[in-house]
A and B are shown apart, each in its own frame.
Chain A
Amino acid sequence: QLQLQESGPGLVKPSETLSLTCTVSGGSVSITSYYWAWIRQSPGEGLEWIGSVYYIGTTYYNPSLKSRVTLSVDTSKNQFSMDLTSLTAADTAVYYCAREREYYDITGYENYFDFWGRGTLVTVSS
């Protein structure tokens, strides 16, 4: 069974950079038709997609975060990572990593998240 596990600091200071890693087990990140994504959820709020990365390094980002986010993948470690710069209190959230299935159907390109990590709480505070 595929499992994803987020790791990284639980507390970061304003203006600093958040770096999170997702370790994939029970499957490979080097698989076609699947992207690897980051999604976050601020306390008491809804879900926000941050961005997705393919195993060859292709990325796409939420336009609202694009200027501050960089995603990458390390196939040798079966991991993918996220850097989020210029943090503010508004970036306090539970950060989830997830597998994103992308495919082409009669409706055009479709995608959805089929496996999720348990999430890690990141607090931005001095």
Chain B
Amino acid sequence: SYDLTQPPSVSVSPGQTARITCSGDAFPKKYAFWYQQKSGQAPVLVIYEDNKRPSGIPERFSASTSGALATLTISGAQVEDEADYYCYSTDSSGNHTFGTGTKVTVL
């Protein structure tokens, strides 16, 4: 199996920067994707192909990959950004893997 490891939780004050890491052996050879999941809702794609934002995703969401670590950054976090965040990738064997998830608290 293929593992993607994230910190369980990150806390940030409104307007500050939150960084969420995702460690995976397939990086940087494979892309990292990031999903936001608000309570009781389906996940929403916020980053694709390491660092690209889908249409409609605020500019405060950005991401990068360095070595075996992918990082999602929320610059100027808002209360509405409070959610669970999951990284996602596929290894060379085709295993579709979600990260362990990070709960972001904005308070």
Query: Do the beta carbons of B98 and A96 come within 8 Å of each other?
Result: no
User: Contact string, A90-105, partner B, CB cutoff 8 A, digits 1/0?
Assistant: 0000001000000001
Do B45 and A113 touch across chains, with their CB atoms under 8 A apart?
yes
Question: Bound complex: CA of A63 vs CA of B99, how far in Å?
Answer: 17
Count class of interface residues, chain B:
20 to 34
Q: A46-B100, A64-B1 are in contact. Are A112 and B33 (CB under 8 A)?
A: yes
> Beyond A109-B94, A116-B42, A117-B42, is A47–B29 a contact (Cβ under 8 Å)?
no
- Closest B residue to A51 by beta carbon equals B96
* Docked complex Cα distance between A49 and B86 (Å): 13
Task: Give 14 CB contacts A-B under 8 Å.
Answer: A46-B98, A46-B99, A47-B101, A62-B96, A64-B1, A96-B43, A107-B30, A107-B31, A110-B49, A111-B96, A113-B43, A113-B88, A116-B44, A117-B42
Nearest 10 Cβ contacts at the A-B interface: A49-B96, A116-B42, A47-B98, A46-B101, A112-B33, A107-B30, A110-B31, A119-B42, A118-B42, A107-B31
Q: Footprint of A on B, CB under 8 Å?
A: 1, 29-31, 33, 35, 37, 41-45, 48-49, 54, 86, 88, 90, 92, 94-101
